[in-house]
Each structure stands twice: as C-alpha cells, then as structure tokens.
Chains A and B, each alone.
Chain A
C-alpha cells in the first residue's frame, strides 16, 4: 500500500511538472502579449514593461527563473494584467469560493445521481428506469449555459431567498451548486446504473437473494460496493474539475471563483496567472486521482492483492 502510494506520488509529480512545462511554452507561443490594450503602446513603453517583468529574456531563462522563484521563495509571480496583485493571492481569494461550490455541487450530484442510478438498475426496463434515464440523458445533453440562465430566471427570480446571480449571501450558492450538481448527477446516474446492472447479474447476487436478503439489503450491502466502481473512477477527476470552477456557471451566476480566471487569464495572456492556475489544477487532479485509486483499492479486494503483490 505504501509502495503504491509512493509510486503514484512520484508519477503525479512528474505529470504536474510536464503539464506546467508544456503550458509555460505554449502560452508564450500564443499571438499577442499581456500588455496589449485598446490603444497601441509606444515601442519604448512595451520594452520597458517586458524588461520589468523579465519577459525580455529568452523563454528558457524565464522558465528556469520561474521554477527558481517557486522552489526558493514560494513566489508564483505577479499578475501581469492586474499589476500589484500576486498570483498566489488571486488564487487564495478565488479557490475557497470554487471549493465550496464544488463540494456542494458534488454533494448534490452524489445524493441525486447514485440513488437514481441504483433505482434505475433495480427497475431495469420498467417505467422508473425509463424516466430516470431520460432525465439523465437530458441532464447530459442540455449544456450548462442553458440550464444556468433558466434556473436563474425561474427559481432565482421567483423563489424568495434564492438569488438570480451574485455572491452577496450564503444562499447565492444554491443555484450554481444545483446547476453543477444536476449535470454531474446525470453522468453519475448512468455510470451507477451500468455498474449495478453488471453486478446484479452475477452469481453472488443470486446467492444473496437465495439467502433471503431484502431488496434494500441486496442493493446497498451486496451490490453497491462493486457497482460503484465506475462511478468512483469518474468522481475523482469530476471533483477536481468542479472545485477548480466552471467558467460557464461562474459567468451566468456572477460567482467570483477560479473558472473565470482560467478563461480570462488565457485571453489576457496573463502568463504567470495561467501557469499558477494550471499548477493548482494539476496538483488537484493528481491528488483526486490518487484518492480515487485508494478508494478503488478499498472497494475492490482484488486490487488490494495486486497492490500487495
């Protein structure tokens, strides 16, 4: 187990390093630069700004300086567009918002998606299955930029306490979390149903039924553990994606989270901010996958023996 953990950690570090390296050079290959504005800057001002932030040096020198600053001083660099702000403080301000929203969204997704998938599997090819899977299909097909404004316009305007958009009271999180949650619930429901169906047709389930286990006991105690495997594999990356924010949901609900930064930093060519965000996202997704791996080992005894061997 320790060996597996160590191996995964090493792999994760390598993945993050490669990801960051590729990002570093790719963003510098994009046309334009962080200082482009509505009005063209005089040549001498542009040169001065580049020199100030070390962008006049070769990409390789910049690259080494970037890692040097992170590893020696923990300095992720300044924002090149919102001068005076540090990348670390921008992320520190936005991440808790996205994290909170992500946890709520994931909570809704799990609470709605997994029971729905189980129910559908249990009632295979009967009306509850059809209705639930139709709803799940709708959830997958209707994009967030349609769901979010519809929720804002209907629930946000007419249910007292709920908010159309904005972030000025705790209930503002309800609709964005619902949007994120229901879309993920749809995926989860389908994955759970698939996983459960496979398990329900296996021999040990027949044994459970023969022993006289009730319907709930069959599903929850005997089938769920194995039936959840596909859903759990999905949950890791999905959770990492959720807590790093969604551009569409944040734009539609005016949420000050990380998703907005991802898109804006790229279009603004805010090099250090993009790199900081990618690093953050990389670490989170590697971490989430690691947790999923451990969870899978816990759920599936066969993996445990493989890991020990």
Chain B
C-alpha cells in the first residue's frame, strides 16, 4: 500500500507543480512573436528539388524565395522577389529577369543568375531524377534534356550576366510569373550544394538545420522529426524589415481530430484542417476563429473508359446525372465545398460551362434512367457489378457509400466498394486497374491549365483511358497563343469537350476548413492555393 501512496504522491506533486504554469503554449509563443501552425504531415524534404507535398511547399516558401513572390494583399498578384523587374518579348516566349544586386544567401554569398541556372539544371538533370521536373517543362528543350535526349546548352536558361537571367520557353507563356510562385522555380545555393556532395547527390545533407543556406525570409532553426520544424528570421533577407513575426513553428499533425483538440487546448495559432465530422462542433464552439475558404481543388470520380459498360457514353452520363450533389455536399462533407458540374474550380478569371442538363434533380434522374435503358440496361437489368475504389479515409468511404446508395435507388444498379490504403490505391489508379476511382486534384499554380492539361490523351495523370484529338488540339492551341483571352477560350473549349465525353464525374469543389486564432493572429488572408506568405502574418500576445 505504501508504494501506491508514494506513486500517487509523486503524480499529484507533479500536477501541483505544473499548476504554477497557467499560460498555454500558444500564449507563450505569441508573446515571443512566434507563429505556431499545423502543417498536416512530416515534410519529405526542404530541398525544393526533392519535395512534392503541400506541407513541404509551405515550409520551403518561407526558406527560399524565387524570382517573384506572392502578394500578401491580393490573391494571384505577383510581386518582385529576387528579380527587381522583368520583361518579355511580344510572343511571351522569351523572358528576361533583372536580379536585385543586393540579393544574397544567408551565409553572405551573393545570389547570382548562375544560382538559378544551377537550380534548374539540377532539377532537370536526367540523372537527378527530380520528381517534380515536369514543372519546368515550359522551358525550351527542358523535357528532352530531362529524358537525356539533348545537352544542357540547348535548354532555354541563360545567365546573360551576374544579375540577368534569360528564359526561353517552348511556347508563349503569359502566365509564367504565376508558375514561378511554385517552389520548383526557386534557386538553390550552388556553392553550398556543390560543397555538400554536388549537384546529383540526392542524399546530400545541405538542407539539415546545421548546414542550411537560403535566401528566404527565414532560416531553419530546429527540426525534430515528427515533432516540429521551426524557422527563425534570416538576418540577410532582402526585405527583412517587412517580416511581421519572429519565427514559425510547423507541427506535422496528420490527424485532424488531434489537431482540433490541440487548438482548443491552446497549442496552436492556426490549424490545417477541421474534419467534416467536427465542423458543426467547431463552428459552434469557436465561431470567431472558424474559417472556411475556397480552395483550388476538385473532387471527382474517374471512370475507366476502357472497361465494360463504362465504354458507353450513355452509361457514364447516367451515372453522372443520378448523383444528387447538393445532398452529397450538405450531408457527407457537411457543407465544406460547392457542388460542381464542371472540373476546374472557379478562379483566375476562368469558369467552364457544364454540358446542358435538366434543371431539377428529379428530371436529371429521369434522364439518367432513360439513358441507362437506351444503353441496354432498363432499370439496371443486366448491368454488371462494377467496383468503386476509394482510399481508406473516412470521408471518402462515406461518400462512396452515399453514391452507391444513390445509384442503387435511381438506376437500380449495384456497385461494390473497394477501400484501399493510399499507396495501393494510387498504384491501382495509375495502372488503370479500377472501374470507378474516387479522385481529387489540387492546382500547383493559379491557372486553369493546371487542371485542364490533365486530360491530354495519354497524359500521365489522365488515368481514364479517354482522349480526343479535338481536346488535344484545343490544349495545343492554348499553349500556342500569347493572348490571355484566346488562351482562356481554348482551355474552356478543351474542358467542355472533356465534360461532354464524361471520362469523369465531377462532384464538388472542396473548401478548406480550419481554425485561426483571431486573438493572436492578424494579417492573414484566404488563398485559393493555401499559399499565403507566412512572413506577412502578425502574431499578437
């Protein structure tokens, strides 16, 4: 008995000792001017040539700065970054960037145009195996170089002098500055990378905190795996006086429930995601802090157009029409999205038109039944059992079950659901080993091309087996014009052709739901790409 008493005494003692500490960690960090933010998952890398995830991107954007940077006041507006100014030729396929001579790396080495040349060569180098090398394919001959089919000298990247960089593109690219907000276009410190193993060393440790050299608003302070990554101000940053806080702590919290609890327990200033099941609760308990922002992301179902009845357009159309998107969005994702009949989310002055369909859901369902009957399956008779593949995420499973029920009720057909863990799901989708696959796509840059280009025949992320020469021609026409209006019209046309052929079923455009402390955080704005510059966030005690 005495042991038990002793232990209880120790436990109570430590609890009492802790009672002295009344401030939450969010309050303490706020007093120090440090922003604490949920960042979804443990970053893969801080090397812009190895990173691929959104979580990586958020950190890299604080550590490195490209030729241009995003505006903190207007979404989509591009401001000078390392480049002071730039100009392009009439066709918009040759761009010249004039670098700020004051720009330097955090170790004091001057930043020159050669650092950009080095970075682009590294990412595109055929032996480096950059996963995101495709982002640089707009550069002339970049794709051929990446595949080992030509020399680096032929690629359209040239340092005209120390502070002038000339980029020659494979076609007119009026939206180039927006592309360049993505971290794949950022420079890397050539001197540091060379000193730490060289250009092609994928195992190089130059991004570890003790070796880090960058040109962004911050430098890495500490990185504890699966715990946190913290950054502190870079004293040699070009605009160090404009940085509004004294550091950022990124917490890799995968689980949205844990994250929301941590927010309510005073551990975070901004969360990454409130899961649908907690939306009503978060809206009620944290009504001032709850945020719901539009997001450049489409949720849809891919249809394997090379399999069974899905080869028939009428069947694909019937499946599309039978889904009641309003109730899907209201009941399954609890309002965290906008029902959609088109693929590309609205934004950047673009809106595609859906193919004409009846106005009310009842009429749409009647038409769906009629189309299915015309395809040879009246009331679903004789329709083979198809499989709907989803990931094991709760929302996706519930959505699949809801749609399964809608198809059963409206069309009289039965669909099996196969829930896979993520890698197996992705492998099956990319190898087209599925009938219907639950999918999502988020934009890399604020331009409809990041969505519409998906549907090129044989494109790597098409994965539906569908393709049409007309759609390809419209996409090629969009790539071939320097006129923004014309380009938009071509992209719209391409998307409409795709929607008419229905290789996918658009479901909704998702919205980001998260919590943000109004007490501690100001200056924050919503961004379609969730890429608000974190150095513009003010942290108040």
Contacts and interface: CB of A to CB of B under 8 A. Distances in A.
A96 to B, nearest CB: 11
Interface in B423-469: 423-424, 426-428, 430, 460-461, 463
B488 to A, nearest CB: 24
Interface stretch (A38-46, A205-213, A278-286): A38-46
B18 A45 contact: no
Interface string A31-58: 1110111111110110011001000000
Contacts of A30: 423-424
Nearest to A81: B44
B22 A152 contact: no
B225 A45 contact: no
Contact of B47 (A40, A84, A157, A257): A84
Interface in A235-259: 251-254, 256-257
A13 interface: no
Contacts, number: 168
A246 to B, nearest CB: 14
Given A45-B133, A93-B224, A93-B225, A163 B267 contact: yes
A106 B428 CA distance: 42
A252 to B, nearest CB: 6
B14 to A, nearest CB: 7
Interface stretch (A133-141, A166-174, A196-204): A166-174
Nearest to A268: B423
A52 B50 CA distance: 14
Q: Chain B interface mostly helix, strand, loop or mixed? A: loop
A292 B148 CA distance: 59
A74 interface: no
Given A32-B427, A48-B129, A167 B227 contact: yes
B262 A166 contact: yes
A267 B130 contact: no
B251 interface: yes
Interface in B17-55: 17-22, 25, 42-45, 47, 50, 52-53
B211 to A, nearest CB: 11
B225 A40 contact: no
Given A90-B225, A162-B18, A168-B25, A39 B52 contact: yes
Contact of B131 (A35, A90, A260): A35
Contact of A157 (B4, B264, B421, B461): B264
A261 B146 CA distance: 33
Given A37-B131, A149-B261, A163-B265, A31 B423 contact: yes
A78 B131 contact: no
A84 B427 contact: no
A152 B262 CA distance: 9
Interface in B40-73: 42-45, 47, 50, 52-53
Interface stretch (B113-121, B197-205, B382-390, B472-480): B197-205
Interface string B526-539: 00000000000000
**Most B CB within 10 A of own CB, among A32, A44, A90:** A32
A165 interface: yes
Contacts of B126: 44, 48
B483 to A, nearest CB: 29
A252 B255 contact: yes
B222 to A, nearest CB: 12
A42 B255 CA distance: 31
A82 interface: yes
A149 B134 contact: no
B3 interface: yes
Contact of A84 (B1, B11, B45, B133): B45
A269 interface: yes
Given A42-B460, A111-B3, A52 B202 contact: yes
A44 B203 contact: no
Nearest to B7: A111
Contact of A161 (B18, B204, B267): B18
A35 B14 CA distance: 46
Contacts of A48: 126-129
Contacts of A152: 258, 261, 265
Nearest to A97: B227
A78 B50 CA distance: 14
B423 A49 contact: no
B44 to A, nearest CB: 6
Interface in A127-184: 149, 152-153, 156-157, 159-169, 171, 174
B517 to A, nearest CB: 15
A40 B461 contact: yes
B521 to A, nearest CB: 19
Given A52-B129, A161-B21, A84 B50 contact: yes
B350 interface: no
Interface string B231-265: 00000000000000000000101110110011011
B14 A174 contact: yes
A61 B208 CA distance: 32
Contact of A45 (B42, B131, B264): B131
B226 interface: yes
Interface in A66-89: 78, 81-85
A130 B146 CA distance: 72
A257 B226 CA distance: 8
A40 B267 contact: no
**Most A CB within 10 A of own CB, among B22, B228, B265:** B265
Contacts of A290: none
A37 B423 CA distance: 8
A269 B14 contact: no
Interface in A1-43: 30-33, 35-42
19 contacts: A30-B423, A32-B427, A37-B52, A38-B52, A39-B460, A40-B430, A83-B45, A83-B202, A84-B45, A93-B224, A160-B18, A163-B25, A165-B258, A165-B265, A171-B14, A171-B18, A253-B258, A256-B226, A256-B227
List of 5 A-B pairs having minimum Cβ-Cβ separation, nearest first: A161-B18, A164-B265, A48-B129, A32-B427, A32-B423
Given A167-B227, A171-B18, 10 more contacts: A31-B427, A44-B126, A45-B133, A48-B127, A82-B43, A83-B203, A115-B1, A149-B257, A164-B262, A174-B11
Interface of A: 30-33, 35-42, 44-45, 48-49, 52, 78, 81-85, 90, 93-94, 107, 111-112, 115, 149, 152-153, 156-157, 159-169, 171, 174, 251-254, 256-257, 260-261, 267-269
